[in-house]
Each structure stands twice: as structure tokens, then as C-alpha cells.
A and B are shown apart, each in its own frame.
Chain A
């Protein structure tokens, strides 16, 4: 089943002489468990694509269907859709600079998205430890982010992204702040998650060395998307 379907997506910033067409008639369809890489140089529209896919940025034209529900059509968000709720319940995010909340411990960072969907007490704590265990970082559960290494922080960030069993995981340059070895480990982890959890993973990256074994590879250039694998 398709988790995310994008049809004829166009995003234009500004108007007149200052008009910038960040995305031009982009179409993409990804199914559950797919591992997708989005490659492209700086300014190619990768971040715009990610923002539109995560329902943060409103496209100018096109259609977005997420988990069988039409979210955006022609030139407006569909009425009655709680986009923030969709993001907290069905999406997970991994960032270039980990973006852990600095005043929360690793455990609390993973607990946070669970608390947003109302999961509390023992069940929530059990789920947190299960995820930290899965990421092999349970022994650092009560450490604040600044006390963790870059790789450890990224693993906590992945655990947080997985907390609510998301249908779609969007990763923005997840290996950019890691050395090659740690970066590859993170990518292996994402592959494992896609297969074991049947979550769709879209990774935005500019590093072709990191996308070995991905199901689909797309290239963005001047706002246009081409599938290369």
C-alpha cells in the first residue's frame, strides 16, 4: 500500500521577477517498507521537497496523499485534516544535527512523542527502554544530550523518531554530522527499521556513499525529480 503519493507537486517562492520555482511538477510514490534516497546538490529543492512531504510547507500546486488520505489538492490543504496530529502519530523525523531537546535526558527525549499521543506510565517507559535497547543505547538512558557522543545522540534521535511506530520516517541529512563509519552504521539502522517495522524511510542526502542498498534513489536538480535507481 502506498504510504505517500505526490503528484505534479510545484512550489513557487516569490512572484514576478523574484519568482523561484523550487519544485517543478514533482511526482513520487512510496510504499510501506520502502527505503528511498533523495539526492541532489545544494539549492536543488531537497529541503523544500522534505518540507512539503512532511506537510510543513504548503505547495503551490499538485496533490499529496498520505496513508490513503488526501492532504493537499490543487492549491490548498484539505479541510478537516489535523496536520500536526498526522505528524505526531504517523511521522518520524531525524535531523542532520540530531536536534534532541537539550534539557531532557535520552529517556525523556524518546518519551516526549509518546506523551504527545497520550501514552503514559509503565507502558510508555517500557516502550522507551525497548527503543533505546533496540538502538543499543539503553545504558545512556539518563544522560543529557550534551553528555552523549554525536553517534549516540543520533541513535537517541532515531529512537525518538520511531517512538510512535510511524508510517513514514523523514531523515534530513542524518549522517552529515557523523564520520563515515558512524554514518554508515546509522544508514544500516535505517535500512533495518524499514524492513523490520515496515516504515517507509525517505532520506535526504548529498552523500552517495551512504545510499548503498536503498530501494529507490531519486535525484533532484533545479526542482525536477528523476529516478535513477
Chain B
């Protein structure tokens, strides 16, 4: 005789309300799992899609994604000259916020050598790759642009020639690919007014030097303008059979850069930028699971306390303890499993509506289910202890 089910049938309104409440908490836990997986996926997407043999960045920097790294563009020639290096491509990556289709959009720009260089888009979902040195762009479709759209960035307008799906920045923002000079121009180009002001400031600064005549200072000005041929990293492809460690050692020793393999770059992201978020999400998930268990515990305790006289009657007429334990545990399990299933169904039908990528992994769902079941068992302890402490004598006497 399934006492738990008969009791829940009588209180189905409260039972369903509790399932929805606890189920929503499970939805958030599962969403956070997905968010965590999504963040890892996005955080590593560009690194793994680019996947060169070596990443060369500014010395002592963990760049280009985990930390800012800047280096003069011409160094890629020096790196290419290192024995064992087949190809060395300049690479620039930065984040901007610009107006796209009259909406302010946050996105990242990657600049690369479009004619055979490393670091460009891996898969074009629609259209083609960049084929001209200037004014063409490939964008991730989440940016909200279409093929053929004209997008003004800085002083120029760029035509969307290709769309990608996979290219997202470590922050989950869409990526726009430009040719290296275009990317540098968008990053460093100033408008004419600013250029005039800058020139004026430099000129005044030089003429204050007593040894310089105004004419000499004027001649020096072009050479003192800030260099815009700056990159963030050099991507290296090795010759077949080249010793990766040896090449890296040589670049570090003779060119004074930091060098990472793609695996090391991945670890830098996981242990650096993504580590805090991982801990944060773990803490939130733990707290939510505890809250779920406490709610189930209180509900089961209330259900049990309402039945305490019936439990006393059951004991008095000789029901063994297992009958009572089964009733309480079964209610707890029904509540836990139903709430979990509610949460699971809800998140699997709504994950695409979240602004950030939610990557649902069956293994994670299983872990939450196991933790929920253990939580459900723990939640029933409070109710069980009351049920088992109930004296059969309580059944005697009036209400």
C-alpha cells in the first residue's frame, strides 16, 4: 500500500507548488552548470580555433587573451628567422563597443594577415573569407549583421563578406575579423582634430628645449608620432620535425619574448581569467543545492508533522518502522525527483533564450541528479526523526 502517494494525492496543490518552486531552483543550478561549460567553451574557443604551434607575446605577459601584450609588428620577421619556424604571423586582438545597425554592440576584433597568415576564421558559415587587403570583414552572426552589410568602424566603412558561428571572444562576445592594417587603423586611428592637437602639443614641448630652433622641432615632429604598427602576438607554425621546446627556448632567449604552446595558453585562461568565474559558479551552485535541500526538508517535515497522529495510529496498530520510513522517504524522493525533472525539462527547453551560451552536458545533469537524490535523503532525516520518535500512545485520547 503506497501511503506516500495517497497522502500526496490529498495535498496535490501544495505538492505541485513545491515541485515548481524547488524545480526552478534546480533549473538555476543546471543553468549555472551550462553557463560554466559555456564560459569555458567560449573562453577557449578562439585559442583552440586559432591553434598555432606557438604563441609569442610580450615578455612576462600571459597574453594575448588573458593579459594585454603589445609588441612592434616587425618582430614577426625576427621570429620567422628562428630555425624551425615555418611561418610567423602578426596577430592583434582587442575589444570595442561601436554602433552596429543603430545599436551599441560590444564585440572583439581580430586582425590577421589575410593573405596566408595564421589566426583567421576557421569556418565560414556563409559568404567567403577576406580576399582584399582593406575594407572587408568577416563577422560572427550574433553581431546581427548580414552578408553585404556596410559597417562603419572608425574612419572607414567595411563590407561584411562572410559570417561565422564558432568565433566568440573569451567573454562570449562576437568576433569581427579584419585585415591586420585595418584592425590597427580601427584601433589607433584618430580623427583629424585630435591629430592636429597632438601635433601642436609635441611642437610646443620641443620648442621649450633651448637647443632646438622652431624649424628643427618642426622637422623632428613626423618621427615622434606614435607608432600604430603594434600587434599583440605572433602566431608561429613550426617546420615538420622541428623541436617545439627548442624553438620556444630560442625565441625566449634571443628575442626576449614569452612563448606558450596552445595547451599552455589554454591553461593560462583556465587558471587565470576563468578560474574566478569557476569558483563563483561552484559557490552559487552549492548554495542553491543547499537551499533546495532545506526547502525539501522543511516541506517533508511539515508533511510529516501533519501526519504525526496517523503515524502514532500506525505504530499502535503494529506497523513496523520500515512502513513509516518508506512513507517519509518516498515522499522526499518523489518531491526531489519530480522537482529535478521539472528543472531539467525547463532548462532543456529554454537554454537558447539566455543571453550567454548555456552548454548542457548530460554528465553534469547526472551529477546534479545524484547530489539531489542524496540531498533528498538528507532532507527526509528531520521528518524521519520526528516520525520515529512518535509514541503510539499519542493515538489514544481526544484530538
Kindly specify which of A3-11, A15-23, A80-88, A212-220 makes contact with the partner chain.
A80-88
- Interface bits B135-152 vs A (CB < 8 Å: 1, else 0): 000000000000000000
- A87-B316, A89-B318, A93-B317 known; A108-B393 Cβ under 8 A: no
Q: Does A227 contact B (CB under 8 A)?
A: no
**Inter-chain contact B319/A93, CB cutoff 8 Å:** no
**Inter-chain contact B318/A91, CB cutoff 8 Å:** yes
- Interface bits A85-113 vs B (CB < 8 Å: 1, else 0): 11111011101110101111000100111
User: From DSSP, what is the main secondary structure of chain B's interface residues?
Assistant: helix
Query: Please, which residue of chain B has its CB at the minimum distance from the CB of A83?
Result: B318
**Inter-chain contact B393/A57, CB cutoff 8 Å:** yes
**Inter-chain contact B317/A95, CB cutoff 8 Å:** no
* B residues in contact with A104, CB < 8 Å: 3, 6
**Inter-chain contact A97/B398, CB cutoff 8 Å:** yes
Q: How far is the CA of A178 from the CA of B393 in the complex (A)?
A: 22
- Interface bits B296-329 vs A (CB < 8 Å: 1, else 0): 0000000000010110011111111001000000
- Interface bits B7-45 vs A (CB < 8 Å: 1, else 0): 101110000000000000000000000000000000000
Query: Please, which residue of chain B has its CB at the minimum distance from the CB of A146?
Result: B10
Q: How far is the CA of A88 from the CA of B313 in the complex (A)?
A: 11
- Interface bits A163-176 vs B (CB < 8 Å: 1, else 0): 00000000011001
Query: Please, which residue of chain B has its CB at the minimum distance from the CB of A204?
Result: B396
* B residues in contact with A116, CB < 8 Å: 317-320, 323
Q: Which residues of B (94-151) have their CB < 8 Å from a CB of A?
A: none
* B residues in contact with A111, CB < 8 Å: 1
**Inter-chain contact B318/A84, CB cutoff 8 Å:** yes
Q: Does A47 contact B (CB under 8 A)?
A: yes
**Inter-chain contact B316/A93, CB cutoff 8 Å:** yes
Q: Does B399 contact A (CB under 8 A)?
A: yes
* A residues in contact with B362, CB < 8 Å: none
**Inter-chain contact B398/A47, CB cutoff 8 Å:** no
**Inter-chain contact A56/B398, CB cutoff 8 Å:** no
Query: Please, which residue of chain A has its CB at the minimum distance from the CB of B395?
Result: A99
Q: Does B241 contact A (CB under 8 A)?
A: no
- A87-B318, A88-B319, A99-B395 known; A115-B313 Cβ under 8 A: no
**Inter-chain contact A172/B397, CB cutoff 8 Å:** yes
**Inter-chain contact A56/B314, CB cutoff 8 Å:** no
Q: How far is the CA of A88 from the CA of B396 in the complex (A)?
A: 16
Q: Does B392 contact A (CB under 8 A)?
A: yes
* B residues in contact with A177, CB < 8 Å: 398
Q: How far is the CA of A91 from the CA of B392 in the complex (A)?
A: 14
**Inter-chain contact B395/A113, CB cutoff 8 Å:** no
**Inter-chain contact A87/B317, CB cutoff 8 Å:** yes
Q: How far is the CA of A101 from the CA of B5 in the complex (A)?
A: 13
Q: How far is the CA of A160 from the CA of B10 in the complex (A)?
A: 21
* A residues in contact with B319, CB < 8 Å: 84, 88, 112, 116
Q: How far is the CA of A115 from the CA of B322 in the complex (A)?
A: 13
**Inter-chain contact A96/B397, CB cutoff 8 Å:** yes
Q: Which residues of B (375-399) have their CB < 8 Å from a CB of A?
A: 391-393, 395-399
Q: How far is the CA of A78 from the CA of B398 in the complex (A)?
A: 31
* A residues in contact with B310, CB < 8 Å: 99, 101-103
Chain A's nearest CB lies how many Å from the CB of B122? Answer: 62
Q: How far is the CA of A85 from the CA of B10 in the complex (A)?
A: 29
- A85-B318, A97-B398, A102-B10 known; A51-B393 Cβ under 8 A: yes
- A113-B318, A116-B317 known; A56-B392 Cβ under 8 A: yes
Of A50, A56, A112, which one neighbours B1 at CB under 8 angstroms?
A112
What are 12 A-B pairs at a CB distance below 8 A? A84-B320, A91-B318, A93-B317, A95-B395, A97-B398, A99-B309, A99-B310, A103-B6, A103-B7, A112-B1, A112-B317, A177-B398
6 smallest CB-CB distances across A and B, nearest first, come from A88-B318, A87-B318, A103-B10, A103-B7, A115-B1, A101-B310
Knowing that A88-B317, A99-B310, A176-B398 are A-B contacts, what are 8 other residue pairs whose CB atoms are under 8 Å apart, sorted by A's residue number?
A51-B393, A56-B391, A84-B320, A87-B318, A88-B319, A95-B395, A112-B1, A144-B10
- Residues of B near any A CB (own CB < 8 A): 1, 3, 6-7, 9-11, 307, 309-310, 313-320, 323, 391-393, 395-399
